[in-house]
Amino acid sequence: MPTTTLSKQATTTKPERAVHHSQRAAFQGTAVKDSTASKAAPEKNQTTAKTTPHHQAQSQSQADPAAPMVALENVSKIYRQGSCGLRDVNLTLPKGGFLFVTGPSGSGKTTLLKLLYGAERPTDGSISVNSQEIHGLKGDRLSRFRRQLGVVFQDYKLIPNRTVSENVAFALWAQGCQKGDIARRLAPTLRLVGLQHKAECFPSQLSGGEQQRVSLARAIVGTPPLILADEPTGNLDPENSRQVIRILNRLNAMGATVVVTTHDLHLVKQSKHPVIQLQDGKLSWLRK
């Protein structure tokens, strides 16, 4: 595990504890940079949204076990400024699959994941995740949809004024989990990512790699059926990168479907999972 540089200032000054609604939204699924958010209606029933147990959300839309977990049909994403995110992408990923997404910087990897968790909408084509068309989802329906996803963001999106434990627990709390359930899940998840000794640290007191592992812990603590990990090893040394892939493999063996973007072809070569490459938004298969 990488060593940690503790910031003295951060250890002595306890940050302001208030959590802005947009930070809660990130965990409920209304991700911070959500281009669809401005169009989304405010949640009509906050209470329902907060108290629905996460396993209910997980079980929704899972009627057909043979249906793919992810299906993209002729999906293109052209951003307003004209830059191309994806070009006519067709992709099917079965439930329980594990897919690596590679490609150079700017090739569309994050765009693909954003489309899958509904932070961006396709310009063309259709996307379904766990048998649910995500095109028209907004507001609390989008939030409920996102509860079946664990997302590791490329830029972590940790809440700066919350400890490691709180950042990870917050994801469960936002889904309506009870205290006991949160406590039961928290410790083993932190142990899994090797951060039990940093549980009471704030993000500013962690190295980049440690923050990345908090982000991973937050994504997996609710054992979601679909994990979308955007460069989860981008800031890690080779041993920690292998450890992260081992964790994702373990969750995959337990039934989770996993999509991982990475620049690290060495890491990809060490596994036998299917690999796609994006190049200017165009998809090709490197290994099926």
Ligand X SMILES: Nc1ncnc2c1ncn2[C@@H]1O[C@H](COP(=O)(O)OP(=O)(O)OP(=O)(O)O)[C@@H](O)[C@H]1O
What residues have CB less than 8 Å from 26, skipping those under 6 apart? 32, 157
Which C-beta is closer to Mg ion: that of 109 or that of 213? 109
9 binds, among Mg ion, ligand X, none (CB under 5 to 8 A by kind): none
Which C-beta is closer to Mg ion: that of 112 or that of 201? 112
Which C-beta is closer to Mg ion: that of 87 or that of 162? 87
Interface residues for Mg ion in 96-125 (CB under 5 A)?
109-110
Count of residues that interact with Mg ion, criterion CB under 5 A: 3
Owner of token pair 């629905």: 52
Indicate left, alpha or beta for 139 from its phi (over 0: left) and psi (-120 to 50: alpha).
left
Strands laid side by side in the 132-133 sheet? 84-93, 70-78, 124-129, 132-133
In the complex, least distance from residue 267 CB atom to ligand X, rounded to whole angstroms: 14
The answer to whether the beta carbons of residues 48 and 55 sit under 8 Å apart is no
Which runs of consecutive H residues, i.e. helices, occur in the chain?
A: 8-12, 21-28, 46-51, 54-59, 109-116, 139-146, 164-174, 179-192, 208-220, 238-253, 265-269
138 binds, among ligand X, Mg ion, none (CB under 5 to 8 A by kind): none
103 binds, among Mg ion, ligand X, none (CB under 5 to 8 A by kind): ligand X
In the complex, least distance from residue 108 CB atom to ligand X, rounded to whole angstroms: 4
Q: Which residues bind to ligand X, rule: CB under 6 A?
A: 79, 81, 83, 85, 103, 105-111, 154
CA 280 to chain centre: 23
Position closest to Mg ion via CB? 110
Site string for Mg ion, 148-187 (x = CB under 5 A): ------x---------------------------------
In the complex, least distance from residue 109 CB atom to Mg ion, rounded to whole angstroms: 5
Which C-beta is closer to ligand X: that of 33 or that of 184? 33
Which C-beta is closer to ligand X: that of 106 or that of 274? 106
Applying CB under 5 A, does 277 fall inside the site for Mg ion?
Answer: no
Which pair of structure tokens corresponds to residue 49?
């949204």
Side chain identity, residue 146: R
Q: What is the C-alpha separation between 206 and 159, in angstroms, rounded?
A: 13
Q: What is the C-alpha separation between 159 and 215, in angstroms, rounded?
A: 10
Bridge partner residues of 99 (DSSP): 259
In the complex, least distance from residue 222 CB atom to ligand X, rounded to whole angstroms: 25
139 binds, among ligand X, Mg ion, none (CB under 5 to 8 A by kind): none
Footprint on this chain of Mg ion (rule: CB under 5 A): 109-110, 154
